[in-house]
Structures are given as C-alpha cells and as structure tokens.
Amino acid sequence: MTNALARLLEIAPAPSRPRHKDWGEVERALAVELPGDYKELIGVYGGSRWDDNLYVLEPHCPNEHYDLLEWATYQFEDLKGLWEFEKKPAELETEGSRVIPWATTDNGECLYWLVLPGLDPNEWTVMVNEARGARWEHHSVSCTQFLASSLDGELQSNILSSLFPRATHEFSRLDEV
C-alpha cells in the first residue's frame, strides 16, 4: 500500500466491497500499462466522488458517466482537435507524449496522467486542465498522491474550485451517486 493510499484511508475509511478489475483488458484497450497506485486506489475505493466535487474515473464504472475508457477515447479526440487551434502545454511537446484522464470535477476540469515515452507508469505525474480554457497545471506527484495531498491541504491547485477540498471530507462511490 502506498503512503498516499494510507493517507486516503485515514481521510475516508474504505468501503466494504473491494473492486476487482481485469487490468490486462483495460490496459490492452488503452494500449498502455496503468500506474500501480491507481489500480490500488480503484481496488479500494472504485470510481469515487470526493468532497462533492472531484470524481475519480473507473474502467467499466457502474455509473456510465465516469468510465475511464470512454473518457480516454473522447478526451484524446477532443484534445487532438483543440491542439489544432491552441498551443499544447510545454510538458506535451515531447514527441510521443500524451495525457490520459483519471479524474474530472463538477466544474468540468479534467485531471490527467502525463504519459512520456519510456517513462514507467509508476512515475507518471498529474496535469490539470481548466474547464473550457487553455490553462494547464503540472504537479510532479502520482494521482493518488495528488488526491491525498489535495484533500489534506498540502497541495493547492490554482485551477480546481476554491470549494475543494471541503473542511469536512465526503466520499461516495460512483455507483451510489
């Protein structure tokens, strides 16, 4: 268990029903291996809503609106079209780099993994894109570290809502939303 997941368990006790995924199938569909901390996060919490604002996407999510595979497909196409008109973030100028969404918010911000050629998935970092805008942030942490550090106030985003995180944390699985 990662330190970040241990911190999340302190913030929000784990649901009683663990999630089991065929990660091989998911990774074949994405044509990339996913970070171990994300797989562990999904195994414990599943697709989830945090502080009534941030939604962690899950492959084959029971709530179809938060399916990681569908988001990855749509975001790839949307960003491809967007970058015909807007400049890519500097982090994506490396040939073969890309982003894969792992979370979204009520406001429409999207949180991505920054995938660089030859970089182990466990070393991927987080990119945050504002809703309906060209601003991006890069955070040199894993997705689970980003979530835990955001919730406990250690990490601040200038893009995410000032209402996130809440003083009293709330967690729910997306199949309960």
Q: Enumerate the domain spans of the chain.
A: 3-176
Q: What is the pLDDT of residues 141-174, one digit of tens each?
A: 999 999 999 999 999 999 999 889 999 999 999 8
pLDDT at 177: 60
Superfamily of domain 3-176: SMI1/KNR4-like (3.40.1580.10)
**pLDDT tens per residue, range 98-149:** 999 999 999 999 999 999 999 999 999 999 999 888 889 999 999 999 999 9
Query: How buried is residue 30: exposed, middle or buried, by Cβ count under 10 Å (0-12/13-18/19+)?
Result: middle
Q: Is the pTM of this model over 0.85?
A: yes
Digit-coded pLDDT (tens) for 12-50: 888 777 788 999 999 999 999 999 999 999 999 999 999
